[in-house]
Amino acid sequence: MARTCRRLPDLRGLLLCGTALVASPAAFAQAPNARPQGGVVSAGSAGIAQDATRTTINQTTSRAVIDWRGFDVG
């Protein structure tokens, strides 16, 4: 990989090589607080389902308002 990076003269190539060298599986792991918490439907109709990694909202009216206690992005 280092040989390929040295052959790329432009800045874009250097940035791509730098990114490839730093990336690891841990970099793509979701933070434990990276999802909305405590959703309450305050107008319209919707259902909120959550599991360990996903939040699913099924909206059954054309408009709905959901109040969230917390909404973090990690």
pLDDT greater than 80 at residue 21:
no
pLDDT greater than 90 at residue 44:
yes
Residue 1's pLDDT is: 47
pLDDT greater than 80 at residue 31:
no
Calpha distance 72→74 (Å, rounded): 6
Q: Which residue has the higher pLDDT, 42 or 71?
A: 42
Is the Cβ–Cβ distance between 39 and 68 less than 8 Å? yes
The residue-averaged pLDDT of 25-46 equals 80
Alpha-carbon Rg of the chain, whole angstroms?
A: 21
- The set of residues, in sequence order, having a beta carbon less than 8 Å from that of 9 and lying 6+ positions away, is none
Residue 54's pLDDT is: 86
Q: Which two tokens stand for residue 29?
A: 């792991």
